[in-house]
Amino acid sequence: MEFKKTVMLGALVAGTLAAGVAMAAEQFIGLPSYRVGAYAAGGSGIYGGWIDYMNLINERDGGVGGVKLVWEECETEYNNARGVECYERLKNKGETGNSMFSPLSTGITYSVLDKVADDKIPLVTIGYGRTDAADGRVFPWVFPLITTYWSQATTMIKYIESKEGDLKGKKIVLLYHDSAYGKEPHAVLDRMAADKGFTVEKIAVAHPGNEQQSQWLQIRQIRPDWVILWGWGVMNPTALKAAAKTGFPRTKMLGVWWSGAEEDTIPAGSAAKGFTAAGFNVAGADYPVIKDIKKVVYGKSLGNMEDESRVGSVYYNRGVVHGIIAVEAIRKAQEKYGKGKALTGEQIRWGYENLNIDDKKLAELGAAGFMPPLKTSCMDHEGSGKVKYQSWDGAKWKVVTDWIDADKQMVRGMIEESAAKYAQEKGITPRDCSKEM
Amino acid sequence: MQFFLEVLIGGLLSGVLYALVALGFVLIFKASGVFNFAQGAMVFFAALTFVGFTEVLPGWTGLEEGGGVVFWLAFVLALVSMVVLGIATEKIVLRPLVNQPPITLFMATIGLSYLVEGIAQGIWGANVRGLELGIEDVPIEYMLEHHNILISSFDLFAAALAGVLVGSLALFFQYTKVGRALRAVADDHQAALSIGIPLQHIWAIVWGVAGFVALVAGLIWGARNGVQFALTFTALKALPVLILGGFTSVPGAIVGGLIIGASEKLAEVYVGPFVGGGIESWFPYVLALLFLLVRPEGLFGERHIDRV
């Protein structure tokens, strides 16, 4: 009897200890956020949504496979030097170091591109960064997920084609932010213009873009059929207002996904009505995942957004997409490397490379239609190439298309060409994906 | 020719808006010799405070949202905030630095700009807001129909407002007791002190007036592009205006603004296409630098002569 008691007590202690160990497992995620400075509106929305989703997973599901998610923010102010400092500060934190680095800045992305391979930390750039990094053979540590700028540009032409029919003889103006980001779609649009017989006029807007009188007077002279707005920050509302001032219809303006948030349209007031923009996520709070966040996270006063009305906005939902993908990458990696323990960045990289978030999975996550299905591989670090379009009705964004597929054949060819050039310059031997598992 | 005129007129009207921001710099430099790097931050602070009050006042007072009473009450409260900010700056930042080299004062205002930007976002949040002043930013139909020239009614209103502001400031400087004291302080601090002009009192007034100018500029620019952090960048547009017009001249700010506004638009349209476009941001600086070679004190600035 005494022996039985001892065994039971021992089992209880061992069980408690084991549970304690499991409870203690924490997956660290370093967040190089920006909540002050010029781009604070975007940073606070996206990182706020991401944190809320991680809180949801912790509170509702007890973490990922029993592992709690923990995080620490580091303020970059969208500044490259600070971004690198944050990268260094965060990389060794947590039980197994930083799980991933996602700086929401193409500049910071370029600054740490070489470091992530040395430190074995996946660099996740969803909707920005280096397009040719979609070739995972050359860029094993970089994940420009969902849809790249080049893919997006092809969907824009498809969208215009759906409105205009044959594009032969049509005139399209690309009004772009005069930076590397703004020049991203040039080659793709030139190639499509040659293929489809339309002309594309490129007009640069100097940073920050708060003055566009001369550009819009030029557009008035050109009399284009469509204007593609490839803007950022204050350039977007300024363009919409200037379009109204020069009488150009906003229904003939198509924005990149960094031109298509509430922060771009609200300052433009009535001038934004009818403007359409791309998105790899949609706006709206009616999705089950957002409802869950409101109920579980904000219900317990754990919400990250100071202004709760921003929950469901384009940037906020983009943050939730970041959260969903990060969690699913960890979950996938746990399938291979084991549950109940913190994984290394190298292991999570494998998770990112083997993601399969299909429609069924999206429905389970409460995110059907919220973001496109995503399937990555060693070859393909983009994973989707789909875009939805939303129009601003004067008060909110309304989805006006289903997911539009990119011209993958053309874009993939360009990606491989550019990645091969990069590999040659850097002396990189591309991986043989047939040997990867 | 028609297109040229359109670009020219648009440029001149934009130039007036640059002048509006430049005025704030001129006022402070004129009275205290401080190049206030924080002027752009003050424009942002003023506009954000105004919009912030329009948001919270209906909740506090039960007044109708978007009504005229809320607008003017928010304007007065934002103005009071700017005056308080100006006086606090003078007392906390500048007074302890009296008799320090100009570069020290300049550096202090750089620090101040970060502080003001942070305080503004700390109090009112980082959200981007829209601002409607009730004047539509649309072309004047008569000009469009009869001359096919596009002139914005909002830009015209802003230019008229800037004109009134400059006229009022010129009269204030010329004919009031405080204005004369300001000019005396600007001319020679020590001589002004020796005849009993209270230097610190005058500085507080100047910072308060600069706050008022920042508020007007913030409202105009905020209505154009939204109330957001980018308002701080308006200061970048004012710098070449100051170099051209002179750091100490109110009319110089206007003339400088007109020249910069018109030339940058013409350059963007007629020179830009040959060099890849997007030259609007740097062309005014090139122009201002060239001008510096010929007339370092600017068009209306005081010629600085040292006896050696």
What tens digit of pLDDT does each residue of B22-39 get? 988 988 888 778 888 999
The answer, yes or no, to whether residue A8 has pLDDT greater than 80, is no
3-class DSSP state of A230:
strand
- Residues 6 or more apart whose CB falls under 8 angstroms from that of A411 comprise A148, A150, A151, A154, A188, A385
Contact B6 A217 (CB under 8 A): yes
Q: Out of A66-70, A142-146, A415-419, B157-161, which region has the weakest mean confidence (pLDDT)?
A: B157-161
Whether residue A208 is found in the same domain as residue A95: no
B139: left (phi over 0), alpha (psi -120 to 50) or beta: beta
CB A210 within 8 Å of CB A235: yes
* Nearest partner of A236 among A167, A147, A316, A314, judged by Cα: A314
CATH value at residue A339: 3.40.50.2300
What pLDDT does A11 receive?
52
What pLDDT does A1 receive?
45
Two tokens, residue A37? 């400075």
Average pLDDT value over all residues in chain A: 93
Whether residue A298 is found in the same domain as residue A175: no
Whether residue A158 is found in the same domain as residue A273: yes
What pLDDT does B183 receive?
80
Tally of domains within chain A: 2
What pLDDT does B197 receive?
87
CB atoms within 10 A of CB A197: 12
Contact B234 A210 (CB under 8 A): yes
CB A215 within 8 Å of CB A242: yes
Average pLDDT value over all residues in chain B: 87
The answer, yes or no, to whether residue A3 has pLDDT greater than 50, is no
Contact B137 A271 (CB under 8 A): yes
Whether residue A35 is found in the same domain as residue A79: yes
Q: Using a CB-CB distance cutoff of 8 angstroms, which residues of chain A are in contact with residue B129?
A: 266-267
Q: Using a CB-CB distance cutoff of 8 angstroms, which residues of chain B are in contact with residue A40?
A: 121, 126, 229
Whether residue A71 is found in the same domain as residue A177: no
Whether residue A202 is found in the same domain as residue A117: no
Two tokens, residue B111? 């620090």
The answer, yes or no, to whether residue B221 has pLDDT greater than 80, is yes
Contact A234 B14 (CB under 8 A): no
Rounded Cα–Cα distance for residues B296 and B304 (Å) = 9
A435 assigned to some structural domain: no
The answer, yes or no, to whether residue A268 has pLDDT greater than 50, is yes
Evaluated on CA atoms B84, B87, B90, B92, the torsion sign reads negative
Q: Kindly state the average pLDDT of the residues B211-220.
A: 92
Alpha-carbon gap: A181 to the closest alpha carbon of chain B (Å): 14
Q: Kindly state the average pLDDT of the residues A362-384.
A: 97
Q: How confident is the model at residue A421 (pLDDT cuts 50, 70, 90)?
A: very high
Q: Of the candidates B126, B233, B264, which has its C-beta nearest A40's C-beta?
A: B126
A155 assigned to some structural domain: yes
* Nearest partner of B284 among B261, B252, B254, B250, judged by Cα: B261
What pLDDT does A313 receive?
97
Domain of A93, in residue numbers: 25-147+283-375
pLDDT digit string, tens, across residues A294-321: 999 999 999 999 889 999 999 999 999 9
What pLDDT does A293 receive?
98
A433 assigned to some structural domain: no
What pLDDT does A15 receive?
52
Q: How confident is the model at residue A190 (pLDDT cuts 50, 70, 90)?
A: very high
A86 assigned to some structural domain: yes
Whether residue A259 is found in the same domain as residue A299: no
Containing A295, the helix (H) or strand (E) segment is none
A189 assigned to some structural domain: yes
Whether residue A127 is found in the same domain as residue A155: no
A259 assigned to some structural domain: yes
What pLDDT does A17 receive?
47
Whether residue A275 is found in the same domain as residue A156: yes
Whether residue A158 is found in the same domain as residue A274: yes
A181 assigned to some structural domain: yes
A94 assigned to some structural domain: yes
Whether residue A160 is found in the same domain as residue A235: yes
pLDDT digit string, tens, across residues B54-91: 999 998 988 888 788 999 999 999 999 999 998 888 88
The answer, yes or no, to whether residue A128 has pLDDT greater than 80, is yes
Whether residue A70 is found in the same domain as residue A162: no
The answer, yes or no, to whether residue B194 has pLDDT greater than 50, is yes
